[in-house]
Amino acid sequence: MEGVIFNIQRFSIHDGPGARTIVFFKGCNLKCKWCHNPESLSSKGEIEFYPERCIGCGACFKVCPYGAHELDENKVHIINRIKCDGCLLCTDTCYANALVAVGSKVDSDYLLKSILTDEIYYKNSSGGVTFSGGECMLQIDFLSEILIKCKDRGIHTAVDTAGNVPWSYFEKIMNVTDLFLYDVKAADTNRHKQLTGVNNELILQNLRKLSEIGKRIHVRIPFIVGCNDDQIEEIAEILKPLNIEKVEVLSYHKLGNSKYTSLGIKNELLGIQVPTEEMVDRAITILKSNGLNAEKS
């Protein structure tokens, strides 16, 4: 079976225990205003364009079947994203690496082989593999297949999810997932919809069910000034009665800003403040005062 991924990151120590390989699935059903992986949002192949690398060879103009490569009124090379179908033919002909393909189809055997490259590091550090995104659970059949293959090899597995999927999806992977990294972005459902495009009723319902059946859960709270920094008390109230092993506060950063430019996507939080250490420490204190095992990540 094939799935669509956009990156494999090795030797991570922030997405589950030990040294880990992170597999990023393409496609998401949330549209978080602060997303630092905007290339994960669409399930289709996309093109990152870095005009400073372009040498003006014209190869992409010739190969594109949709005429998506154009010159503007100043004779500057641009991509008409409306015309682009994501076929990625132009990225194969770009000699200067100005056009970079984002997203590729892989089968589970290929992916397992890539994951096993680092098997010795998993064993030495009690690490494993984490499936992330985007939202990896949107490709539930492919995710289930690769999880089964990893567990057959004795590899620790973690699934990083926002939880906005049917409960049946969780049931499908429950027995082959050792740890769920679960995003909680806001407590108030209207605020959640404003920030992500969807309400949080299904998300919180699934989180409570995971807790009730005793699955290992690390909740992750993205901390964004002016968006959800005033929601920590309410989030703590939601999490307090649940069986949560750890709560991680993820401070907003601007490392993904250049990706928006390269993909031709508007960055709604371009000028937002990065949280100070004091702000994050205050959030940690609130969570701990509610009996939660909270830390920065």
Q: What is the pLDDT of residue 235?
A: 98
- Write the burial class of residue 61 (CB in 10 Å: 0-12 exposed, 13-18 middle, 19+ buried): middle
Q: What is the pLDDT of residue 181?
A: 98
**46-102 classified as CATH 3.30.70.20:** yes
Whole-number Å distance between alpha carbons of 160 and 146: 15
Torsion of CA 77, 83, 86, 87, to 10 degrees: -90
Q: Which of 86, 81, 53, 57 is nearest to 69 (CA)?
A: 81
* Token couple for 256: 């993904």
What contacts 24+ positions apart, CB below 8 Å, involve 167-171? 167/205, 167/206, 167/209, 169/137, 169/140, 170/137, 170/206, 170/209, 170/210
Annotated domain spans of the chain: 2-43+104-296, 46-102
Q: pTM above the 0.75 mark?
A: yes
Name the strand (E) or helix (H) holding 207. helix 201-212
Q: What is the pLDDT of residue 203?
A: 98
3-state secondary structure of 97: coil
Query: Which residue's structure tokens are 């990896």?
Result: 136
Ranges of residues in the chain whose predicted pLDDT is under 50: none
Q: How many CA atoms lie within 13 A of 85 on its CB side?
A: 7
Q: What is the largest CA-CA distance in the chain?
A: 62
Superfamily of domain 2-43+104-296 in CATH is: Aldolase class I (3.20.20.70)
Whole-number Å distance between alpha carbons of 210 and 213: 6
Q: What is the pLDDT of residue 284?
A: 97
* 4, 34, 168, 182 from 218: Cα distances, Å: 25, 21, 20, 6
CB-based contacts of 75, cutoff 8 Å, min separation 6: none
